[in-house]
Amino acid sequence: MPFDLLDGFSIAAGIIDPKSQSRIHLMPFVTQVTFVRRGKLKVKMKSPDDDRPYEIQHGSDEAVLTKQGTLFQLVNESFEPCATLYIVSPAF
């Protein structure tokens, strides 16, 4: 059977509305890459090993890796929508 590059991954596209934020997430079984296709995005994270949460700012064509077991929140503080791509492994 030939190797399929996408085996083991789920991929979804999304839009984060201006001046909005997600709820705080915890995905105990998957690792997620959040790729900013267009716009600006703040990602707040706290892994079990961190003493306190930290923030990372991302712009177009940048990505953040959130390892399994890490609390995270996606925040769009701008007045423009933020287009994202979510790549998760293992696949849902």
pLDDT in tens, 63-91: 999 999 999 999 999 999 999 999 999 98
- Which tens digits make up the pLDDT trace of 3-12? 555 578 999 9
Higher pLDDT, residue 46 or 2: 46
Instruction: Tell me what pLDDT residue 51 has.
Output: 95
**CA nearest to 70, candidates 84, 50, 87:** 50
* Domains of the chain by residue range: 29-89
Confidence grade of residue 92 (pLDDT, cut at 50, 70, 90)? confident
- Which tens digits make up the pLDDT trace of 14-52? 999 999 999 999 989 999 999 999 999 999 999 999 999
Contact 67, 47 (CB under 8 A): yes
- Distance separating alpha carbons of residues 72 and 75, to the nearest angstrom: 10
